[in-house]
Amino acid sequence: MSDEPRASGSASDDTGLTDGGDGPTDGADDTVTDGNALAAVSDVSRSYGGVTVLDGVSLSVSPGVTAVVGPNGSGKSTLLGILAGVIEPTTGEVRHGGADARKPVGYLPQRVPFRDGFTARETLAFYGRLVDADPDAALERVGLSDAADKRVESLSGGMRRLLGIAQALLGDPPVAVLDEPASGLDPTMRERAFRTAAERAPEGTAVVISSHNLELVEAHADHLVVVDRGRIAAAGPIDRLRADYDVESVDELYRAATGREGGIGTESAGSADEDGGVHVTGVSDR
């Protein structure tokens, strides 16, 4: 963050959400080991083809729902991938406080990648065997019991995403990182996807969700991280940020934090990626 002093939060606050940016932080190690933060990235940067996508970001997440918002190409997916441990940062460190857990992090990438030819149950059974989890219970949790015997390739986009959420939550990881779980879904499925993920928060899970849908963020998220041009423009508990920026809604907060007139807007099926500007030329938001 750094460019916007009001969004600063260099020290770990009572939410456990820490924003680094240019400013100093009290260290990811401390937030992970001493606070209730379950995962943290410290001064991480990432570039692709020499073009910086993420620049010196520090962030820690604690139990609750943390929403990561920002324009396309702002670095959200890269940040989430690094937080999940599936993308190697160019510089910086990543720590997971739940390293003792059998599965420290659950991860749903932006594109649900399951192998064709397997049913929903078989897909979750594969992952379930690795963490001693019951695939049928996981399917039931996301409301896919009736589709258990359907092949992955014959599931609708929404069902695939729900299956992806079920996979990410399999094994009860302390941190669940979900990259646009509601993207491209109809309003009902969007709500269901968000609600399913958010239900884990009261159980002590840190649920990190990126989304373009600010209404859902407003309805379900406890903390907000606004990413813009590879940096964190604002971060903290939503209520506090509203007060800091003197705004009423997350949409206004987003506009104030990023300095953009148009908000992200309400996501609609198939249009999730049509808003916002791409600020890192030639680089996709990975």
Partner 1 sequence: MTGRDRGRGGLAARLRGIDTVFRRELATVARTPGYAALAVGFGVALFGLVAVGGGGATGFVPAIVDLLLPVEALVPAAAVVLGYRALLADGATGELAVIRTYPVGIASYVAGVLLARFVALAVVVGGPAALVGVYVGLTAAPDTGIFATHAGVDSPLLYVRFLAFMLGLGAAYLSVAAAVSAIASSRRSAIALGALVLGGGVLGGDLALLESLSAGTAAAATPDLLALTPNGAFRGLVFEHVIGVAFAPETDFVPTGRALASLGGWTLGGAVGGGASVALARRVDAAIERVRSGE
Please give the residue ranges that form the binding site for partner 1 (CB under 8 A): 45-50, 52, 81, 84-91, 94, 96, 99-100, 102-109, 111, 113-115, 117-118, 122, 126-127, 129-131, 167, 171, 173
- For residue 125, give the 3-state DSSP assignment: helix
Give the whole-angstrom CA distance, residue 285 versus residue 29. 27
Minimal distance in Å, beta carbon 109 to partner 1? 5
Residue closer to partner 1 (CB basis): 26 or 48:
48
246 token code pair: 């003197």
Give the whole-angstrom CA distance, residue 42 versus residue 21. 9
The arrangement of strands across the sheet holding 105-108 comes to 105-108, 175-179, 206-210, 64-69, 223-228, 231-237
Minimal distance in Å, beta carbon 225 to partner 1? 20
Minimal distance in Å, beta carbon 14 to partner 1? 28
Residue closer to partner 1 (CB basis): 48 or 199:
48
Residue closer to partner 1 (CB basis): 47 or 266:
47
- 236 sits in which H/E element: strand 231-237
> In terms of Cα–Cα distance, which of 19, 10, 67, 78 is closest to 210?
67
Residue closer to partner 1 (CB basis): 115 or 195:
115
Residue closer to partner 1 (CB basis): 93 or 186:
93
